[in-house]
Amino acid sequence: EILLTQSPATVALSPGEGASLSCRASQSVAKYLAWFQQRPGQAPRLLIYEASKRATGIPARFSGSGSETDFTLTIRSLEPEDVAVYYCQQRSRWPFTFGGGTRVEMK
Amino acid sequence: EVNLVESGGGVVRPGRSLRLSCLTSGFKFGEYALAWFRQPPGKGPEWVGLIRSKVYGGTTEYAASVKDRISISRDESTSTVYLHLDSLKTEDTGVYYCTRERRPNLDLDFDFWGQGTLVIVSA
């Protein structure tokens, strides 16, 4: 099973600040890495698929990069509604697996 | 509008079985793979299994943690997908989500999610 390690565990930002969230895979997942946002009490929401492609309706302040084992989700300018837990997920090999999540808080 | 509505959750005793349903609408059901994910209280999501579209034989894949106890099926006539889980354990407790892949024919990025149904396994 492919292990995904996310860092940091928590990050606190002021409105308008940017953030880089990391996801490292225990083996190559090629480009098959997605990022999800989960707000409290809601289902996960697909933000990024295939490492760098924004899903439908996702604001341009969210971007993804990376390949093989190292990936980054960048939030360019934090909005209050971005307070959430962010998960990476690979679909390169069965079973699909998730990282442990990064919690984004507002200062 | 794409819609997925799960049902069948509740409190179940350990060792019993459960069947969850996911009624879908707003898209060509037969063309899409559908997956189930679950999320234990206070933890991250976990992929449970998926069923491919009929074009790809309606075949299934399951997570190792449930592989011997799970069955996912689909009913093309009612656009419904089912999850059957036997020999329930307390660690099966969580919110179960039904999801649809982003594009048809084995895209396997899941961008439509239901609201989830809560399963509590407890004596």
Interchain proximity A44–B45, CB inside 8 Å: yes
Q: Are B118 and B9 in contact (CB under 8 A)?
A: yes
Strand order in the sheet with A4-7: A4-7, A19-25, A70-75, A62-67
**Residue B2 pLDDT class (50, 70, 90 cuts):** very high
Total domains in the fold of chain B: 1
Which residue from A54, A41, A30 is spatially nearest to B111, judged by alpha carbons?
A54
Partner B, chain A 10-29, Cβ-Cβ below 8 Å: none
In degrees, to the nearest 5, what angle opens at C-alpha B53 toward C-alphas B37 and A64? 55
> Which residue range is the domain that position B12 belongs to?
3-118
Question: Residue B120 pLDDT > 90, yes or no?
Answer: yes
CATH number at residue B84: 2.60.40.10
A46: nearest CB among B97, B110, B115: B110
B111: nearest CB among A56, A91, A95: A56
Q: Does A66 touch chain B (CB under 8 A)?
A: no
Q: Does A43 touch chain B (CB under 8 A)?
A: yes
Q: Is residue B123 in a domain? A: no
**Model confidence over B52-87: pLDDT tens digits?**
999 899 999 999 999 999 999 999 999 999 999 999
Instruction: Please name the residue ranges forming H helices in chain A.
Output: none
Q: Long-range contacts: B25-30, Cβ < 8 Å, 24+?
A: B25/B1, B25/B79, B26/B1, B26/B2, B27/B2, B27/B100, B28/B104, B29/B74, B29/B76, B29/B79, B30/B54, B30/B55, B30/B76
Question: If you average pLDDT over residues A2-28, what whole number do you get?
Answer: 97
A44: nearest CB among B102, B108, B113: B113
**Model confidence over A67-85: pLDDT tens digits?**
999 999 999 999 999 999 9
Q: Is residue B47 in a domain? A: yes
Full set of structural domains in chain A with CATH: 4-106 (2.60.40.10)
Instruction: HSE, CB side, 13 Å, CA atoms: give it for residue B15.
Output: 1
Number of Cβ within a 10 Å radius of residue B79: 19
Tokens representing B46 are 């976990």
Question: B5: exposed, middle or buried (C-beta count within 10 Å: 0-12, 13-18, 19+)?
Answer: middle
Cα nearest neighbour of A35 on chain B:
B109
Tokens representing A97 are 């697996």
Q: What is the mean pLDDT of chain B?
A: 96
